[in-house]
Amino acid sequence: MRKWLAILIFCLGLGVVGYPAANNLVTEWRQEGVLTAYKSQLKTASASQLRALRRALQRQETLNKTQVKDPFKTRTERFVETTPLALVAIPSVDVELPVFEGTSEKVLQKYAGLVQGTDIPQGKQNQHSLITAHRGLTGNQLFTDLWRVEKGDRFYLKNAYGMMTYKVTSIRKVKANASRPIQRDATKNQVTLMTCTPYMVNSHRLLVTGHKIPNEVEKIPEGKLVWDWYKVMLLVLVGVLFIWGMWAGIRYNRQAKEDL
């Protein structure tokens, strides 16, 4: 009876600890599939195909003109998963996500979304794109570590207009009901990354803004692994459960031999 109880407790503990990691792995596979397909499309596209992709982005730019509203309270249902507007990469916190149009729940559960009323990334002056994603979702990193980004860090966008490098120049917090969270600058091309803050309270929005600078590298740098507390706790718990399971097995075998 004790043996089966020990096995049950071990399995339950492993399930509780392992579920977020397994869910995160599945979500990352889905994101990676979309990213790989999009990167391949950009890499293999001919000049005429790239021009067609740019025209499609320009048409969406026209449709996107509307009042900017908080995406976590006012969701847009428009969502075409097969065609991202761009990919966003933040190497300093190991983030790379497809960016889709709008902020429907279907988008924000798995990807980043471009807030309606802001500019589709084209790298032009007098444009300001607002890209948002959740933080703290079970089994999905998204923008969970955005708070770790510092001024001077680089992040990158890539689409039919090529790779664009942005240098972080501003990090600020605004209330969720802020009417104008971002503004254009006639002399700059800017992108702001946004998520909720504080964690689980979500009364404000964290805004990380960068302006476009000349590309310093030929391709997007590899992301740096971020050791969050929950990742460390996950490893510690898995280690504890493994050691406990080994100890319980050895103890059971010894007891079985003594009973012979």
- Name the residues annotated as catalytic: 134, 196
Calpha distance 7→12 (Å, rounded): 9
* Residue tagged 């800017």 (tokens): 190
The 3-state secondary structure of 226-257, one letter per residue: CCCHHHHHHHHHHHHHHHHHHHHHHHHHHHHH
Rg (CA), the chain: 23
How far are the Cα atoms of 14, 17, 26, 28, 236 from residue 22, in angstroms, in the given order?
11, 9, 6, 10, 16
